[in-house]
Amino acid sequence: MHLIYRTSILLLIVFISFQPRVSADEGMWLPLYLKQLNEAKMKQLGLELTADDIYNINQSSLKDAIVQFGGGCTGEMISAEGLLLTNHHCGLGQIQQHSSVENDILQNGFWAYDKSQELVNPGLSVKFLVRMENVSERINALLQPEMTEKERNEVILAESKKIEKEATNDNHYEARVYPFFAGNEFYLILYEVFKDVRLVGTPAWGIGKFGADTDNWMWPRHKGDFCLFRVYTAPDGSPAEYAPENVPLQPKHHFPISLKGYQENDFTMILGYPGRTNRYLSSAGVEKLLKYSAPTIIQVRTAKLDIYRASMDADPDVFIQYASKQARTSNYWKYSIGQVKQLKRNKVIDRKLELEKRFEAWLQANPDKQETYGNALPLVLNGYRELFQYENASNYFMEAIARGSEILSFANLVTRQTQAKGTNNDQLRATITSHFKDFHAPTDQKVLAAMLLLYEENVPEAFHPDEFKKIARKAKGDYSKFAEKLFKKSAFASEEACLELLDKPEKYAKDDAYELFRAFVESYLEVKKLTDPVNESIQRGERLFLAGLREMEANRDFYPDANFTMRLTYGTIGGYEPADAVYYDSYTLIEGIMEKEIPGNWEFDVPENLKQAFETKDYGRYTNDKGELVVNFITNTDITGGNSGSPVLNGKGELIGCAFDGNWEAMSGDIAFEPELQRTIVVDSRFILFVIDKLAGAQNLINELTIIE
């Protein structure tokens, strides 16, 4: 489960199950309120700690071992020397950056047997949560019902900046005020950010990416999806940019790693940074996703992935250049395919309509609520349906143009940098050099041709830029010649040509690639002028709808939708029934890796040392009580994108695994939780230690861990 990207319209809403009480395994709970809302239920399931042991701002607690890794994943401290565990796919960008055909750590893995061998990663940072604070009362006191959404948002932004400034006035922390419950509540989150994070170890591709696209989002799974980094500080322990004299972080807490394993129905919990859920998306919102958003993503990314795959298979250099890009593109492509299938299979629109029907009935039974909440659903439902006519224009711009061919988006990036205050040639040179390290012009040229064709075929001509209309008339459905010509003329097609213009930055803005991108942007902005008022109406309706639901279900414990802030989810280990006459066990073994092996295949090739360990059964102390080497297991905890790399803990707060994915049958889960189907897929901590110890021979790393026998 990789990073889920932010969209222009984010719904910060909450899901409530249709049962009288929320089931124990559902919910992404704020650690601030665990004592009031969750502690008793968690103890019934097997928690041996207190809420204060998990979240405490006055003394060490579990939260102090959790980081937001790189802005889109989660990681955890597993030693007193700043060693950090996260997913292989979370660190894939850094692993790829350090790889070359001559030193291919993507394929072969990498291990630092001494801290001096650890690899520096410019731009990578981790955030520790310092504290959360509910500031809703202060902000809501400034808001009036008669305000427009634009006026309301301006007041919220201004007051949030004041609160953030006050919170960081006498310290080195970073602060942000987040809206929760569709903008009905607001919380200040304070972070400590560390910017020297070094790569320590990664397994070979055949372990860390085993199964790749085919197995992504699927169970049963057999993937060692983990890697190790180390966080460094200045000698005085404060955050600092990379420097040779920096020292390993001494975290306030790190997780001991359990070798005791687990049994069916054992308690588990996960602390992490889930990205985005839309658990109270309306029926019309789901309809929009099914008819427009997801089909666009699937179609556009299928075309890109086909081009990427052909180039990667043909050239080892391109494989390395595009490994991270392909993984990012593929992840959300397959997610969208699964989401569409499961939204239909799990009848989510019908469930949304039933909830909306109940809400209307509640309003009818409570006339005094009509004035406040009577317009909520009409604003939402009518607004979404009004957006339908603009969806292809908006979606194909974002997917096929803004995220399509790199030459267009890169032309925009560089040109905007030249126009920004304070930008110098050294910064621009670094931007250009970094980009071209992982850019293959022949591949991107094919992508550009494919993207322009998809835009022409799917976006109504009324929304086509005039410049594009001229190109389309000449192309007559084949943009390959146009793309070839553009790549020959544009300075953004090669590093040498791009660097030559550093002393003449005004020429960047006259480049054909930039002018084409700018034409598309101007057309998109015209569409945005039409959709912005509609989106404001939807935003108002969603806020009122959720406020009304919380009154309608006043005795229910609510949790806010995921929004990249720290949450806790808890549940139990166990298998599930994905279909009639089918049952999936709760864990997989190394035997499953060997059963899936396809020698030489980029997805299912197995490293020789793993095969040798299997043949000799040399698993060391990392087996379960049956002598089996467990690879992955599942738990019914409630996670989403952003939770990748999160620690999976037992009732004592010991690490038993690292979360890395969700399951196919519950791909509708970001919109409607599926209590019987939803599972978190986890790499077993014993398999992680087996790889580090028996395959990598990194005894130096094993020695610094706290291992519970």
Domain boundaries, the chain: 31-125+195-278+561-708, 132-191, 283-550
Selection from 198, 277, 257 nearest residue 1 by Cα: 277
Catalytic member of 53, 64, 79, 89: 89
Q: What CA–CA distance (Å, rounded) separates 689 from 702?
A: 7
pLDDT of 10 strictly over 60: no
* CA 247 centroid distance within chain: 30
pLDDT of 515 strictly over 70: yes
Catalytic member of 644, 646, 668, 685: 644
Task: Give the pair of three-digit tokens for residue 458.
Answer: 């799917």
Give the three-state DSSP class for 658. strand
Torsion angle of the four alpha carbons 424, 429, 432, 435, in this order, in degrees rounded to the nearest 10 = -110
Determine what percent of the chain is predicted with pLDDT higher than 70.
96
Beta-carbon contacts of residue 434 (< 8 Å; ≥ 6 apart): none
Pairing verdict, β 582-584 and 257-258: unpaired
- In DSSP terms, 84 is beta-bridged to 77, 229
Catalytic member of 196, 215, 225, 511: 225
Give the three-state DSSP class for 177. strand
Which residue's structure tokens are 């789901």?
Answer: 286
Q: What CA–CA distance (Å, rounded) separates 580 from 274?
A: 31
CB 568 within 8 A of CB 269: yes
Selection from 590, 574, 572 nearest residue 221 by Cα: 590
Selection from 91, 119, 93, 121 nearest residue 321 by Cα: 93
Q: Please tell me the predicted confidence (pLDDT) of residue 511.
A: 96
pLDDT of 326 strictly over 90: yes
25-29, 400-404, 488-492, range with the lowest pLDDT? 25-29
Q: Please tell me the predicted confidence (pLDDT) of residue 2.
A: 42
∠ CA(520), CA(427), CA(420), 5° rounding?
Answer: 50
Q: What are the helix and strand counts (H, E) for the chain? A: 27, 22
Selection from 266, 295, 180, 361 nearest residue 633 by Cα: 266
Q: What CA–CA distance (Å, rounded) separates 108 from 603?
A: 14
pLDDT of 4 strictly over 50: no
| Average of per-residue pLDDT across 682-700 | 98
Mean pLDDT, the chain, rounded, equals: 95
Q: Please tell me the predicted confidence (pLDDT) of residue 6.
A: 31
Q: How many residues does the chain have?
A: 709
Separation in Å, CA 460 to CA 390, 456, 466, 617: 9, 8, 13, 61
- Sign, CA dihedral 104-107-113-114, equals positive
Q: Please tell me the predicted confidence (pLDDT) of residue 423.
A: 78
Q: At 26, is the pLDDT very low, low, confident or very high (cuts 50, 70, 90)?
A: confident
Q: At 420, is the pLDDT very low, low, confident or very high (cuts 50, 70, 90)?
A: confident
Q: What count of Cα atoms within 13 Å lies in the side-chain half-sphere of residue 559? A: 31
User: Using only C-alpha atoms, what is the Rg of the chain?
Assistant: 26
Determine what percent of the chain is predicted with pLDDT higher than 90.
94
Task: Give the pair of three-digit tokens for residue 237.
Answer: 């322990």
Q: List alpha helices for 397-511, DSSP H.
A: 406-419, 425-437, 441-458, 466-475, 480-489, 495-500
**Whether the bond into 145 is cis, omega within 30 of 0:** no
| Average of per-residue pLDDT across 183-210 | 98
Torsion angle of the four alpha carbons 390, 396, 398, 403, in this order, in degrees rounded to the nearest 10 = 180
Pairing verdict, β 196-202 and 119-120: antiparallel
Is 254 assigned a catalytic role? no
At 612-661, the pLDDT tens digits run: 999 999 999 999 999 999 999 999 999 999 999 999 999 999 999 999 99
Beta-carbon contacts of residue 566 (< 8 Å; ≥ 6 apart): 30, 31, 63, 66, 68, 129, 132, 189, 271, 272, 273
Q: Please tell me the predicted confidence (pLDDT) of residue 5.
A: 31
Q: What CA–CA distance (Å, rounded) separates 233 from 128?
A: 13
Is 25 assigned a catalytic role? no
At 265-312, the pLDDT tens digits run: 999 999 999 999 999 999 999 999 999 999 999 999 999 999 999 999
Q: At 351, is the pLDDT very low, low, confident or very high (cuts 50, 70, 90)?
A: very high
At the top level of CATH, which class does the domain 31-125+195-278+561-708 belong to? mainly beta
Is 213 assigned a catalytic role? no
Task: Give the pair of three-digit tokens for residue 666.
Answer: 């519950």
CB 332 within 8 A of CB 4: yes
Give the three-state DSSP class for 527. helix
Give the three-state DSSP class for 649. strand
Q: At 425, is the pLDDT very low, low, confident or very high (cuts 50, 70, 90)?
A: confident
Q: List alpha helices for 193-248, DSSP H.
A: 205-208, 212-215
Q: At 104, is the pLDDT very low, low, confident or very high (cuts 50, 70, 90)?
A: very high
